[in-house]
Each structure stands twice: as structure tokens, then as C-alpha cells.
Amino acid sequence: MLDKKILTNTENQSFQPQEFFNDQWKVYQKILDNNYMGHHEIYSILQELLLGYFQQPFRMLDLGCGDASFTAQALLNSTITLYQGIDLSIPALEIAKDNMAKIQCDTTFIQGDFSQFVPELILTQSNSFDAILSSFALHHLSLEQKDLIIGHIKNLLTSSGVFILIDVFRQEAEDRETYLRRYLEDIQKNWSLLTSQEYLIVKNHISTSDFPETQQCFYEISQKYSFSSFECLYEDVLNATQVLCFYR
């Protein structure tokens, strides 16, 4: 089990770039810089949602926040009062702390596994959130784990709270193998600035760690936990990336 470490915005921990700038993170930055996963379109939709839906002060939990660079941009001019980010990577959290410094709200950064941390939050009964975001992180879990965590997320939301899931999805009736082939073919064709070595890093990561579900599967989970409504705010041209909202 991972040690859990809470980093607050008042701590001054030294950043250790050598630990952080491994191959995978550098490739991910290149993917973001070239907008290969559609972060620009997705996060402008997220910003529209946050500005429109939350006219009053709100609290956000970000599961798998990474460096929170796009989340921080989406939160500009919003009414957020508290942001809590959790990630496995301490170096990513250190950068997230810098990125979130431009947003006027309380911040807490927690190093840990969200599939363990979320159930613990329920037990402490001391936290609730108006928005819970998970962006490109939930697809690493098994279906059973996804189901379980969404059940917990429902209990962590305030009465008008929303769970926003940004992730990759299989098409209906598409199995994982077919999805992987389709997604990797698209990467090979369109992520043209990746070197062949970078492509192999991406391919290896996706082939071993990505377990996307269909939108219907998440709709059924939303019904199981009696979310009041469920909507898809965005779907990319490849029908792979979506933004789903689960309203409590």
C-alpha cells in the first residue's frame, strides 16, 4: 500500500525533477502540447459547465489530477472555494500546487490511490464536494472498481453535486481488443509528431493499462446508484473520448 502524504499550499517541499521527468510524463506533456487528446475542446466545455452550473461557492475533488494544468485554466473566474487534488505522483502534485496557485481558493494535494482514498473519505464523514472530477484516470480500474468508486462518489457529493467523468470509452458492442486496435491506429495516423520510440511508450501504456467501458455501462451504473440524471456533454470525432456528467 502506498504511503499517503498530504501536501498543503503552505508547505515548501523541494521539487525533485529527476524523479518526475521520466519518459512517460514527457510524452504525456508532448501529447498535451499538441492537443492530441482534445484537452482544449474538453476543458473549454468543462469551464463552461463550471461557470454556468456553479453560481455559488463550490468545492471540488479531482481524482488523478496530474499536474492540474488544464483544471486550473478551467477554474479561472469560477466561484471555487476549495480544491482537493489526489494523485499517485508526488512530482505531479508539486506542479499541480504551482498551477493551482493562480486560483483563489483553499487547496490540498494528497498523494495516494483514489480507489483507497475515496472510501476512506466516506468513513470520516467530514467531507462533501459539489464537483468531483476524474479526467483520463478512471479507465485504469476494473469494471468492478469503477462501479464501486462511483457508488462512493455519489455519497461524497452534495445534494446538487455533479460527478464529471472525462475519459476514453469503447463503442457499444466493441470489445477491448477492437477498441485498442482502433485507438492505436488513430494515434499512429494522427499523433504525427511522436517519434517511433514515443509511440511505443504510448502503445505499451495503453495496451497494458487501459480498460475503457461503454457509455451505456456508465449509464447503468448511474441508474444503479440513483443519480438523478446523466448526460454526455462531449464526444470526439473518433467516438473514443467523452465528457459525462452524473448529477446527484
Note the residues at the interface with ligand SAM (CB under 6 A): 64-66, 70, 86-89, 92, 113-115, 135-137, 140
Shortest spacing between CB 235 and ligand SAM, in angstroms: 17
Q: What CA–CA distance (Å, rounded) separates 110 from 63?
A: 10
Angle of the 196-209 helix axis to the 23-33 helix axis, nearest 10: 100
**124 three-class SS:** helix
Q: Is the Cβ–Cβ distance between 228 and 247 less than 8 Å?
A: yes
Please state the closest distance from residue 132 (CB atom) to ligand SAM, in A. Answer: 13
Total count of residues recorded for the chain: 248
Q: Which is nearer to ligand SAM, 176 or 228 (CB)?
A: 176
Among residues 166, 136, 159, 142, the alpha carbon closest in space to that of 226 is found at 159
The span from the CA of 73 to the CA of 81, in Å, is: 15
Q: Which of residues 164 and 221 has its CB atom nearest to ligand SAM in the complex? A: 164
Q: Where are the alpha helices (DSSP H) in the chain?
A: 17-20, 23-33, 39-53, 69-74, 90-100, 114-124, 143-156, 176-190, 196-209, 215-224
CB of 37 to ligand SAM, least distance (A): 8
**Which of 131, 122, 147, 151 minimizes the C-alpha distance to 58?**
131
What minimum distance in Å lies between the beta carbon of 55 and ligand SAM?
Answer: 25
- Closer to ligand SAM by CB, 83 or 136: give it: 136
Nearer to ligand SAM, 66 or 212 (CB): 66
- The nearer residue to ligand SAM, 64 or 161, going by C-beta atoms, is 64
Q: How far is the CB of 170 from ligand SAM (least distance, A)?
A: 18
Report the residue number, 78 or 135, with the smaller CB distance to ligand SAM. Answer: 135
* Cβ at position 47, least distance to ligand SAM in Å: 14
CA 93 to chain centre: 14
**89 vs 222, which CB is nearer to ligand SAM?**
89
Minimum CB–partner distance for residue 138 and ligand SAM (Å): 8
The CA-based diameter of the chain, rounded to the nearest angstrom, is: 50
In DSSP terms, 80 is beta-bridged to 58
